[in-house]
């Protein structure tokens, strides 16, 4: 090991940001060198990507420059793409260079999972990061401009198809319900010509969520023009349609967005970790099995909920809490002290249904409508505060009026 141990954090999402911030707060500069590697020079709020994709917020609002959060004398920032971790050599291979570590935190987040559905990768848009979300926003507006200026108008060009009604799909169509009337006004197009269709394989939206809340969400969205096709498994995605169900019905659209699921970063498989559905099932202290000095957190990890015998769902809430435990455990390793097991403090789940509506549970209590929408903004603002402090809350916080 070096005289001063080197802690390398891969990925500046919720997990990586929180780990690096806590390390800077709890370790002195003499105790360790801290390196944060990220593809971009900014962190983005993944939980706001559906708003970027619909165009209801500007992409810059969802970004925080890393150099504004971290003192470069304290955290060395490297903007590069991680390709592989060579565990035997304590080395990380980046696209443009490489680096060694004494302690490693893999917090590279999620990528969209197409489950190998034919044509999905080639023909659908994904809500995966800032760039992919901006593409969706621009494509939707392009379809409006094209429609307005074409002589032979094809109403299918205005249809927006969203595959999957998990939280991402539902929050996205909620934002579209806000944005589409605005675009119709801007381009003088009849609102009824624009279809927003959400296609889900299960017989209900948000298959594993509270039935009463789900019914509320469905009715709210339907009243604002969202159509649902439930029990409709997407078999294929073509350039202009989803192919759905056993009878291979084609649902045509000008914009096709896949929100059918996520998995862990491909860096995990490139690095030879044993994977379950694309992620590593970590030990209670968040280390990769059999690894003394490698932590895997956030959407790259399955953290077991021992009470229920299955992993906790991958969320920003969990990733942030992983970061706190991970930083504590690295400090414990540096001081030869015992590590602690991660304990999830579940504060609840709130899903937005547009600007002024939402639903969810907070500390076990069900919330609907404006109170849920207010709570959602509180959660979003709290996240900004925790990652970047008061400066970012004031600069980027959500104050959209209802
Ligand atoms: P991420 O936030 O995905 O961050 C990973 C970081 O690693 C990024 O900065 C990325 O640029 C970087 N990176 C990736 N690959 C590389 C590479 N090869 N090299 C270098 N850098 C790399 N969860 C909630 O709890 N509440 C919500 O309301 C909520 N809403 C959501 C809304 C949407 C639209 C989506 C898509 C997800 C939502 N989630 C929500 C889930 C939540 O966003 C994820 O669970 C969370 O982002 C995981 O955090 P993470 O730190 O593991 O990774
Ligand atoms: P998900 O896996 O939760 O939902 C995907 C949906 O797509 C499911 O309903 C599934 O049945 C459907 N689907 C899959 N294959 C299909 C097919 N062939 N045809 C039709 N439908 C199909 O994925 P997600 O919504 O991207 O969420 C990912 C994670 O992020 C989850 O853990 C979620 O809790 C979290 N998240 C949380 C929030 C929030 O708390 N507000 C918001 C967004 C995401």
pLDDT, tens digit (0-9, with 9 covering 90-100), for 95-139:
999 999 999 999 999 999 999 999 999 999 999 999 999 999 999
Ligand at minimal distance from the CA of 258 is 2
User: In angstroms, rounded to a whole number, what is the distance separating the alpha carbons of residues 16 and 70?
Assistant: 12
Helix, coil or strand: residue 118: strand
The pick from 164, 200, 313 for probing ligand 2's pocket by mutation, whose C-beta has the most ligand atoms within 8 angstroms, reads 164
Q: Strands 280-281 and 301-302, how do they pair?
A: parallel
In percent, the amount of the chain with pLDDT more than 90 equals 92
Give the pLDDT score at 207. 84
Q: Any residues with Cβ below 6 Å from ligand 1, and which?
A: 11-16, 37-40, 43, 46-47, 49-50, 81-82, 107-110, 127, 129, 168, 171, 265, 267, 298-299, 314-317, 319
Ligand at minimal distance from the CA of 271 is 1
Q: How far is the CA of 173 from the centre of ligand 2 (A)?
A: 13
Q: In what order do the strands lie in the sheet with 91-94?
A: 82-86, 91-94, 98-100
171 in active site: yes
Atom of ligand 2 nearest to the CA of 206: 9
Question: Does residue 13 have a pLDDT over 70?
Answer: yes
Q: Strands 82-86 and 91-94, how do they pair?
A: antiparallel
Q: In what order do the strands lie in the sheet with 365-368?
A: 348-352, 358-362, 365-368
Please name the residue ranges forming H helices in 84-188: 120-123, 130-149, 167-187
Give the pLDDT score at 2. 54
The H or E element containing residue 260 is none
Q: Strands 304-305 and 310-311, how do they pair?
A: antiparallel
Give the pLDDT score at 383. 87
Written as six digits, the tokens of 387 are: 């990652």
> For residue 38, which of 87, 112, 103, 92 has the smallest C-alpha distance?
92
Mean per-residue pLDDT of the chain: 96
Give the pLDDT score at 401. 58
Written as six digits, the tokens of 247 are: 């009878």
Ligand 2 contact, 169 CB (< 6 A): yes
Q: What share of the chain is helix, strand, coil (3-state, %, to 5)?
A: 40, 25, 35
Ligand 2 contact, 11 CB (< 6 A): no
Instruction: Please state, in angstroms and as integers, the Cα–Cα distance from residue 12 to each residue in 31, 46, 57, 200, 366, following that order.
Output: 22, 11, 21, 32, 32
Pick the residue whose CA is nearest to atom 53 on ligand 1: 109
Whole-model pTM: value is: 0.97
In percent, the amount of the chain with pLDDT more than 70 equals 99
Q: Strands 262-264 and 75-79, how do they pair?
A: unpaired
> For residue 111, which of 265, 316, 280, 260 has the smallest C-alpha distance?
265
Atom of ligand 1 nearest to the CA of 16: 51
Give the pLDDT score at 397. 87
Q: How far is the CA of 3 from the centre of ligand 1 (A)?
A: 34
Rounded to 5 degrees, what are φ and ψ at 152? -95, 100
Catalytic residue among 33, 51, 171, 200: 171
Q: What is the pLDDT of residues 337-389, one digit of tens each?
A: 999 999 999 999 999 999 999 999 999 999 999 999 999 999 889 988 888 88
Tell me if 318 sits within 8 A of 279, measured CB to CB. no
Give the pLDDT score at 168. 98
Neighbouring residues of 34: CB distance < 8 A, sequence distance ≥ 6 = 7, 9, 20, 23, 24, 27, 74, 75, 76
**pLDDT (average), residues 29-44:** 97
Q: How far is the CA of 310 from the centre of ligand 2 (A)?
A: 17
Min mean pLDDT across 8-17, 59-68, 267-276, 391-400 is at 391-400
Question: Does residue 269 have a pLDDT over 60?
Answer: yes
> For residue 9, which of 328, 326, 316 has the smallest C-alpha distance?
326
**pLDDT (average), residues 321-344:** 97
Give the pLDDT score at 176. 98
Pick the residue whose CA is nearest to atom 33 on ligand 1: 47
Question: Does residue 400 have a pLDDT over 80?
Answer: no
């Amino acid at each position: 090991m070096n005289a001063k141990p080197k802690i390398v954090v891969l990925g500046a999402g919720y997990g990586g940001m929180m780990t690096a911030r806590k390390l800077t707060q709890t370790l002195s500069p003499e105790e360790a060198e801290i390196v944060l590697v990220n593809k971009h020079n900014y962190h983005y709020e993944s939980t706001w990507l559906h708003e970027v994709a619909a165009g209801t917020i500007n992409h810059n609002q969802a970004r925080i420059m890393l150099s504004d959060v971290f003192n470069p004398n304290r955290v060395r920032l490297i903007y590069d793409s991680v390709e592989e971790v060579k565990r035997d050599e304590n080395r990380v291979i980046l696209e443009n260079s490489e680096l060694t570590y004494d302690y490693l935190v893999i917090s590279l987040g999620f990528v969209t999972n197409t489950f190998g559905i034919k044509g999905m990768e080639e023909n659908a848009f994904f809500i995966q990061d800032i760039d992919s979300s901006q593409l969706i926003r621009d494509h939707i507006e392009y379809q409006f401009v094209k429609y307005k200026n074409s002589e032979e108008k094809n109403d299918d060009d205005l249809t927006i198809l969203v595959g999957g009604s998990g939280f991402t799909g539902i929050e996205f169509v909620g934002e579209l319900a806000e944005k589409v009337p605005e675009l119709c006004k801007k381009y003088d197009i009849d609102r009824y010509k624009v279809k927003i269709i959400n296609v889900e394989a299960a017989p209900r939206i948000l298959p594993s969520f509270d039935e009463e809340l789900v019914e509320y969400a469905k009715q709210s969205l339907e009243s604002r023009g969202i159509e649902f096709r439930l029990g409709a498994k997407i078999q294929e995605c073509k350039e202009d349609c989803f192919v759905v169900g056993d009878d291979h019905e084609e649902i045509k659209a000008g914009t096709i967005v896949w929100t059918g699921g996520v998995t862990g970063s491909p860096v995990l498989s490139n690095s030879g970790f044993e994977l379950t559905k694309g992620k590593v099932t970590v030990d209670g202290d968040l280390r990769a099995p059999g690894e003394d000095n490698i932590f895997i957190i956030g959407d790259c990890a399955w953290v077991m909920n021992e009470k229920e015998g299955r992993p906790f769902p991958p969320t920003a809430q969990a990733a942030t809490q992983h970061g706190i435990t991970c930083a504590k455990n690295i400090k414990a390793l540096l001081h030869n002290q015992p590590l602690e097991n991660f304990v999830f403090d579940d504060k609840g789940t709130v899903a937005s249904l547009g600007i002024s509506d939402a639903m969810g549970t907070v500390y076990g209590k069900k919330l609907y409508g404006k109170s849920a929408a207010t709570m959602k903004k509180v959660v979003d603002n709290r996240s900004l505060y925790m990652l970047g402090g008061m400066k970012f809350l004031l600069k980027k916080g959500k104050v959209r009026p209802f």
